[in-house]
């Protein structure tokens, strides 16, 4: 009996040490599963852990995207086991969890890192809810650029198009040469991001924000005109079987010379670089028609769930490191994105990154920096818009357009009635 008690005491003793050790390790949930994205987040975690040896962060991949992250978080909140920190998008994605009382306000950490000084005003607008910061930006990407294979363009004698007619002519020439013109990928985001160029061309910056605010109807002539432009330019030019591919597969088609162009966020530049496809020599980039002088951006932030004091403090230590010049540079250079911290020296970027940085500076001076519409809309409206635009890209028939509008417009009116729209 005495021996048994001794064994139990020893087990409890060492078990206590294991428990204490476990409390010094905290999870970061993210959905960067491969390539330059995964390399970037792993490097950032490694950097932050060196700064905070007493609060180690372990990355956990949530397969999918922001929508799957949302589902996993909802389950975790119900079970009382959310991560210490997680990858979130901006605006409505933050607002939803804030209104549910799930997120920890980051006012103290925001002041500590001087958030109002290191992040542009346009960025601040979509991480603050009622003036309170709930997300700290770390990943800033432009989503209105078209990447092209330079060797293919040179062989056929093509130059980057500067308007919609030029884009269609370029696509026709590529197809005539036996090359798929324009890559795309399946999922609720990529066709929608492509659609923004046609939308901004049609409704302008003011109209873009009117849609974000719920003021411009989906059954109105402006939105229908944007759909027509998208259908008659990009949709007609998409590569065969595009809807069954991931964005990395669409990028691979450009690398392999099977497709001439792909419109994608600037993270594809990091993917190309990771694959040995060199910017300025093997590929280059131009703004999509209608977006010259403007940028449309997608941004990810770190958000912190309400939780135990130790967990919140570990998350804040991680965010402090991640928002520093060194932390943001560590991530951005590897991933192929831009650092939202304005103190990061542009010289750290490669050929493509420098080009994107110049676009951002020019658009900022023109007050033409537009957040991704998906995240400005109420969550259900944005999600359905993404689904419907993809359906339209796959089958751009009049019947699909009719069904799309009959689905989206009631959602807009319902969201307006529920005061779900926000004037960002």
Q: Tokens for 128, please give them.
A: 């603050």
Q: 17-140+299-355: what fold?
A: D-Maltodextrin-Binding Protein; domain 2 (3.40.190)
Q: How many Å is the Cα radius of gyration of the chain?
A: 23
145-296+371-417: same fold as 17-140+299-355? yes
CB neighbourhood size of 225 (10 A): 15
Q: Tokens for 152, please give them.
A: 């293919």
**Residue 165, CA atoms < 13 Å, CB-side half-sphere:** 0
Burial per residue of 235-266, b for 16 or more beta-carbon CB atoms within 10 angstroms, e otherwise? bebbbeebbebebbebbbbbbeebbbbbbbbb
DSSP one-letter string for 320-333: HHHHSHHHHHHHHH
Q: Which of 13-22, 48-57, 175-184, 382-391 has the lowest mean pLDDT?
A: 13-22
Q: Write down the pLDDT at residue 23.
A: 54
- Residue pLDDT, tens place only, 150-209: 999 999 999 999 999 999 999 999 999 999 999 999 998 999 999 999 999 999 999 999
Residue among 122, 100, 104, 124 at smallest CA distance from 113: 124
- Looking at residues 105-112, what average pLDDT do you find? 98
Q: 145-296+371-417: what fold?
A: D-Maltodextrin-Binding Protein; domain 2 (3.40.190)
Regarding pTM above 0.75, the answer is yes
Extents of the domains making up the chain = 17-140+299-355, 145-296+371-417
In sequence order, the 6+-apart residues with CB closer than 8 A to the CB of 167 are: 161, 233, 234, 237, 288, 289
Q: Which of 15-24, 82-91, 316-325, 372-381 has the lowest mean pLDDT?
A: 15-24
Instruction: Please state the φ and ψ torsions of residue 4, each to the nearest 5 degrees.
Output: -65, -40
Q: Tokens for 191, please give them.
A: 């066709």
Q: Which of 3-12, 40-49, 134-143, 247-256 has the lowest mean pLDDT?
A: 3-12
Place 48 in a pLDDT band, splitting at 50, 70 and 90.
Answer: very high
């Amino acid at each position: 009996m005495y021996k048994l008690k001794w064994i139990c005491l020893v087990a409890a003793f060492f078990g206590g040490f294991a428990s204490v050790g476990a409390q010094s390790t905290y999870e970061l949930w993210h959905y960067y599963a491969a390539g330059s994205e995964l390399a970037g987040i792993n490097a950032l975690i490694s950097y932050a852990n060196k700064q905070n040896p007493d609060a180690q962060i372990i990355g956990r991949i949530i397969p999918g995207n922001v929508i799957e992250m949302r589902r996993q978080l909802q389950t975790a909140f119900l079970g009382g086991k959310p991560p210490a920190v997680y990858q979130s998008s901006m605006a409505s994605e933050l607002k939803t969890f804030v209104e549910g009382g799930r997120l920890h306000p980051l006012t103290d950490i925001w002041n500590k890192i001087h958030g109002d000084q290191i992040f542009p005003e346009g960025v601040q607008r979509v991480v603050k809810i009622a003036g309170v910061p709930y997300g700290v930006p770390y990943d800033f990407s432009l989503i209105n650029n078209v990447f092209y294979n330079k060797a293919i363009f040179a062989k056929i004698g093509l130059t980057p198009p500067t308007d919609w007619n030029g884009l269609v002519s370029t696509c026709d020439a590529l197809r005539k040469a036996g090359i798929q013109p324009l890559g795309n990928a399946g999922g609720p985001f990529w066709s929608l991001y492509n659609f923004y160029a046609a939308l901004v061309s049609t409704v302008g910056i003011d109209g873009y924000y009117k849609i974000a605010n719920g003021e411009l109807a989906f059954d109105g002539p402006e939105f229908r005109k944007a759909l027509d432009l998208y259908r008659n330019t990009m949709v007609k030019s998409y590569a065969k079987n595009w809807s069954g591919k991931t964005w990395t597969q669409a990028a691979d088609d450009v690398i392999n010379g099977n497709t001439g162009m792909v419109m994608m966020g600037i993270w594809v530049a990091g993917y190309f670089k990771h694959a040995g496809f060199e910017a300025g020599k093997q590929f280059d980039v131009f703004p999509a028609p209608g977006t010259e002088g403007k940028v449309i951006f997608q941004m990810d932030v770190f958000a912190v769930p309400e939780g135990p004091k130790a967990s919140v403090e570990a998350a804040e230590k991680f965010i402090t490191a991640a928002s520093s010049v060194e932390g943001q540079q560590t991530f951005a250079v590897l991933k192929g994105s831009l650092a939202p911290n304005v103190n990061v020296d542009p010289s750290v970027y490669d050929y493509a990154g420098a080009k994107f940085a110049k676009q951002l500076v020019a658009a900022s001076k023109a007050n033409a920096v537009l957040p991704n519409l998906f995240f400005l809309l109420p969550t259900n409206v944005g999600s359905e818009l993404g689904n419907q635009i993809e359906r339209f890209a796959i089958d751009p028939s009049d019947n699909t357009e009719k069904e799309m509008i009959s689905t989206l417009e009631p959602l807009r009116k319902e969201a307006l009635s529920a005061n779900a729209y926000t004037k960002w």
